[in-house]
Chain A
Amino acid sequence: MAITVPRPKLTWFERLYLPAIVAGMAITLQHFKNMLLGRTKVTMQYPEQKWDAQLPEHYRGAPALVKDEAGRIRCVACQLCEFICPPRAIKIEPGEIPVKDRFSKVEKYPREFDIDMIRCIFCGMCEEVCPEQAIFLRKDYAITGLTRAEMVHNKEKLLEIGGIMHGVVLKWNEKK
């Protein structure tokens, strides 16, 4: 079934068209004038110039693992991020913390933790799903490498990006 699209009724002034063309031209000339006077900035010269200082608080860059104030890797290898990750970029190999260790109460830690940054889509689901506040999206965005292997962030690299996180919930205290 065809749908009849009603055409707007134009007044005789609108049907002249010339006033509209003149108005449009005026805007273009205004821009031209601003450009000649150097009032418009169109292009930022990346990578010589960077916008890092202005990155918004909610910016989602590379995911990274964090340690808490006590120096413990907060991840307990529950593998929920591996499960939720839409492009399946995360690969975790869980391990057991020995009984004699300082953090033996936590029992489990990631022996290996790889994020394939070629696959990562910076969606932030890993951060959202993490029950341990262990993975956060940081503001690093220029992730480059010459080989595929270089683009896989292993546990050391992820901890290096992540650093220490202050003010997170400490749920594995001895008293709890």
Chain B
Amino acid sequence: MAEGPPSVNVQIDGVWHQFPKGTRVIEACAQLGVYIPRYCYHPKLSSPGNCRMCLIEMGLPRMGPDRKFELGADGKPVINWMPRPQICCAQDVAEGIGVRTSSPLVEECRRGVMEFLLINHPLDCPICDQAGECRLQEFSVEYGRADSRFLENKVKKPKRVQIGPRVTLDDERCILCSRCIRFCQEIAKDDVLGFTERGGHTLLTAHPDKPLENNYSLNTVDICPVGALTSSHFRFEMRVWFLKETKSICTSCATGCNTIIGSREDVIYRQTPRENVAVNSVWMCDYGRLNFEYLTSPERLLEPEIFSGNKLQPSDWKTVISHTALQLRHFTGWDIAIVASGRMTNEELWLTARLAQQLNVSLIDIVPRKGEGDDILLSQDRNPNTNGAKIILGLEGKTGANLEAIAASVAEGRIKALVVLGEDPTQFGITVEQLKKLPSFITMNILRSAATAHATAVLPSAAYAEKRGSMITGLGRLQRLNRAVRPPGQAREDWEILRDLLQEVTGSNGLGSIEDVFRQMAESIPPLGGLSLSKIGDLGVKVMATPENSTTPLPPGEPADEEIFERPLVHAPK
């Protein structure tokens, strides 16, 4: 264990505790379960101390003439309490200090601060999207007044301002905590927000020529303690108390930001980041956050289809699976090529590998997907599970190396059966004309494309929020997907389709649930050994060293080193 900073003794609410030096008093109290109300303080940002909500009483140890602490009857330092309250968000712990978090003075201060904050606040909670998760609402329950003593007219400020393509500002609701300004300066490195005017007329404004349009703008909405900044996408769509919150991960790039999916009755309304210091701190990019619209696209494949009687027609799953297996068994391994996807989960990839092994297929690959990355969270690699695909399919070096060979073999007619899982073959050099000529073209996908019209079997599958499974991020961390909504129509979870197909080819395989799949996979894939889906937990497990060519940035402001999970030596008997 590395030596941490030295500990100091702090008295909180009359009890002495030890905290490492450098801990903020507000955090020290939080560790003891005392939540100090706060607006401007955010653990991942600097502390300007401007909201004054976290006032506490504080005292310093009394010093004797010998520059040593005077000790009381209990052998602990005697504390000289300061007559005025202090803010605890910008104060680090120090040896011998004392803190009172709930004295009459402190309570009175909080009530006073609440009254000031509400002077100009429009009481429009019924139309405010923040209602239900608003700090102002929460603390006014504890420290607010039932009525207002303020007789003057409220200050009028701009409302419904588009300060960026994705963020709507209501200046009347703003309590000037400056969290969003600090986020843009410190995390997003795009300093476009600021305060203008003075006193009660102070306004939050974006630079006149620079809107808030960076790829992290929606994080300001998350950290806004009130409803001043709201997401234009989520605006007036659904009240937050209706949302079912499912812990999951973002699958839009190799970073794998931890998320909470907010859904109601099988419709996803929003995604918000979930804290994981090893992956995304508490942030998430806008691109990943809003990348769920395709789940409700009219192009979704809803029914399994099979080529019979000279055309593709809808059928039931049992028929389609048995016909698909028949098509595959008709050819030898040399005639078949499988193109999987870096968007598939480990379980699906492992079942694909098993299928390839049973059919003796050696031409197998995934489609690489590159995009522009940055050094905050977004990876250049837009496949969420490239590392999983490399380990499980046994792909060495770069992904996509076999794609040219596959495309060439299809063009020459050497490949008779092409299996494409979660990808569009026209994206890697196979033309629609070539697909038409293929005796067997089996595709499992989410959306209808030009290619699916020429398939001999179409297997509609589930999107990331509609299934369970695991993925390995660009930094080598195994994380878990959870199911937030049900797949539409007759679409099924991918692993079930592959399991049924494998069963049809090999006979029974004893895979009843996704836990079974993971268990069998963990037996054969060394980095996953000793793990199970439940052991992954909500925060994931680091299972491999970060690959050298990884394009995944480390989370901003978080420590990087982490030990790699190793299989425990002692196993429980089976």
Distance in Å: Cβ of A135 to nearest Cβ of chain B: 12
Residue numbers in B under 8 Å from A131 (CB-CB): 125-126
Which residues of B221-252 have CB atoms within 8 Å of chain A's CB atoms? 235-237, 239, 241-242
Q: Is the CB of B154 within 8 A of A132?
A: no
Q: Give the complex CA separation of A175 and B152 in angstroms.
A: 11
Q: Which residues of A contact B236 (CB under 8 A)?
A: 77, 94-96, 107-108
List residues of A (97-136) whose CB comes within 8 Å of B's CBs. 99, 105-108, 131-132
B127: which A residues are within 8 A, CB to CB?
76-78, 106-108
What is the distance, in angstroms, from B166's C-beta to the closest C-beta of chain A? 16
Complex contacts, A94 vs chain B, CB 8 Å: 236-237
The answer for the CA separation of A131 and B241 in the assembled complex, in Å, is 16
* Contact string against B for A residues 143-158, beta-carbon threshold 8 Å, 1 for contact and 0 otherwise: 0000000000000000
Contact B160 A78 (CB under 8 A): no
Q: How far apart are B368's CB and chain A's nearest CB, in angstroms? A: 41
Cβ of A78: which chain B residues have Cβ within 8 Å of it? 125-127, 131, 239
CB distance from A18 to the nearest CB of B (A): 67
Q: How many A-B residue pairs have CB under 8 A?
A: 37
B154 and A79 contact, CB distance less than 8 A? no
Contacts of A82 in B (CB 8 A): 242
Residues in B96-145 with C-beta less than 8 Å from chain A: 123, 125-127, 131
B427 at the interface (CB under 8 A from A): no
Contacts A76-B126, A95-B236; A107 near B160 (Cβ below 8 A) = yes
B127 CB, nearest partner CB in chain A, Å: 4
Cβ of B239: which chain A residues have Cβ within 8 Å of it? 78-79, 83
Say yes or no: is B310 at the interface (Cβ < 8 Å to chain A): no
Q: Which residues of B contact A99 (CB under 8 A)?
A: 160
Task: Report the Cα distance A105→B156, complex, angstroms.
Answer: 12
Contact of A7 with B by CB under 8 A: no
Tell me whether A83 and B126 are in contact in the complex, defined as CB-CB below 8 angstroms, given that A77-B236, A94-B237 are known contacts: no
Q: Which of B25-81 contact A (CB under 8 A)?
A: none
Contact at B160–A132, with CB atoms within 8 Å?
Answer: no
Closest to B153 in A: A175
A58 within 8 A of partner (CB): no
A20 contacts chain B at the CB level, 8 A cutoff = no
Measured CA separation A80–B239 after assembly (Å):
9
Chain A, residues 65-87, CB within 8 Å of chain B (1/0): the string is 00000000000111110110000
Using A79-B239, A83-B241, A107-B127 as known contacts, say yes or no to A176 and B154 having CB atoms under 8 A apart. Answer: yes
Q: Min CB distance, A105 to chain B, in Å? A: 8
Contacts of B154 in A (CB 8 A): 176
Assembled-state Cα–Cα distance A154/B153 (Å):
38
Min C-beta distance of B244 to chain A, whole Å? 14
For B160, the chain A residues whose CB sits under 8 A away are 99, 107
| B154 to A, closest residue via Cβ | A176
The tally of residues in A whose CB lies under 8 Å from a CB in B reads 20
Q: How far is the CA of A105 from the CA of B154 in the complex (A)?
A: 15
A132: chain B residues within 8 A (beta carbon) = 126
Collect the chain A residues with CB atoms within 8 Å of residue B125's CB: 78, 131
Report chain A residues within 8 Å CB of B131.
Answer: 78
B235 touches A96 (CB 8 A): yes
Of all chain B residues, the one with the shortest Cβ separation from A134 is B126
Report the separation of the CA atoms of residues A79 and B241 in the bound assembly, to the nearest whole angstrom: 10
- Whose C-beta in chain B lies nearest to the C-beta of A132? B126
- Name the interface residues of A51-69: CB closer than 8 Å to any CB of B: none
In the bound complex, how far is the Cα of B153 from the Cα of A131, in angstroms?
A: 22
Q: How far is the CA of A83 from the CA of B154 in the complex (A)?
A: 31
A80 touches B126 (CB 8 A): yes
Contact among B159, B235, B242 for A79, CB-based, below 8 A: B242
Q: Which A residues touch B153, using CB under 8 A? A: 175
Q: CA separation between A145 and B525, bound complex, in Å? A: 63
Instruction: Considering the complex, give the chain B residue whose CB is closest to the CB of A95.
Output: B236
Shortest C-beta distance, A169 to chain B (Å), equals 12
Chain B residues closer than 8 Å to A171, beta-carbon distance: 123
Q: A92's closest neighbor in chain B, by CB?
A: B239
CA distance A107 to B160 in the complex (A): 9
| A80 CB to nearest B CB, Å | 7
Tell me the chain A residues, 159-176 only, with Cβ under 8 Å from chain B: 171, 175-176
**Smallest Cβ distance from B160 to chain A, in angstroms?**
7
Query: How many angstroms from the CA of A31 to the CA of B571 in the assembled complex?
Result: 87
In the complex, how many angstroms separate the beta carbon of B363 from the nearest chain A beta carbon? 50
**In the docked arrangement, what's the CA distance between A82 and B123, Å?**
21
Q: Which residues of B contact A175 (CB under 8 A)?
A: 153
**Alpha-carbon separation in the docked complex, A96 to B236 (Å):** 7
- Kindly state the separation between the CA atoms of A132 and B237 in the bound complex, as whole angstroms: 19
Instruction: Give A82 to B242 CA distance when docked, in angstroms.
Output: 10
Which residues in window 144-161 of B have CB below 8 A to A? 153-154, 159-160
What CA separation (Å) do A44 and B514 show in the bound complex?
Answer: 66
Task: Output the nearest chain B residue to A96 by Cβ-Cβ distance.
Answer: B236
Q: Which of B153, B159, B236, B242 has the most CB of A within 10 A?
A: B236
Residues of A within 8 A of B235 (CB): 96
Q: Which of chain A's residues has its CB closest to B170's CB?
A: A107
The CA-CA distance from A78 to B123 in the complex, in Å, is 13
Q: How far is the CB of A7 from chain B (nearest CB, A)?
A: 57
Q: How far is the CA of A79 from the CA of B126 in the complex (A)?
A: 8
Contact with B along A4-33 (1 / 0, CB 8 A): 000000000000000000000000000000
Q: Which residues of B contact A96 (CB under 8 A)?
A: 235-236
Specify which chain B residues have a CB less than 8 angstroms from the CB of A83 in the assembled complex. Answer: 239, 241-242
Q: Chain A residues near B242 (CB, 8 Å)?
A: 79, 82-83
Q: Find the B residue at minimum CB distance from A175.
A: B153
Q: Looking across the interface, which residue of chain A has its beta carbon closest to that of B123?
A: A171
- How far is B132's CA from A79's CA once the two chains are assembled, in angstroms? 12
Residue on B nearest A171 in the bound complex, by CB: B123
Q: Which residues of B contact A77 (CB under 8 A)?
A: 127, 236
Q: Which residue of A lies closest to B241 (CB)?
A: A83
Most buried by A among B160, B241, B242: B160
Q: Output the least CB separation between B135 and chain A (Å).
A: 19
Question: With the chains together, A171 CA to B124 CA distance in Å?
Answer: 9
Q: A95-B236, A175-B153 are in contact. List 13 more A-B contacts (CB 8 A).
A: A77-B127, A78-B131, A79-B239, A82-B242, A83-B241, A83-B242, A94-B236, A94-B237, A96-B236, A106-B127, A107-B160, A107-B236, A132-B126
Q: Spell out B's residues near A (CB within 8 Å).
A: 123, 125-127, 131, 153-154, 159-160, 235-237, 239, 241-242
Q: Would you list the 6 A-B pairs with minimal beta carbon distance, nearest first? A: A78-B126, A108-B127, A79-B239, A94-B236, A131-B126, A76-B127
The 24 sampled A-B contact pairs (Cβ below 8 Å) are: A76-B126, A77-B127, A77-B236, A78-B126, A78-B127, A79-B239, A79-B242, A80-B126, A83-B239, A83-B241, A94-B236, A94-B237, A95-B236, A105-B159, A107-B127, A107-B159, A107-B160, A107-B236, A108-B126, A108-B127, A131-B125, A131-B126, A171-B123, A175-B153
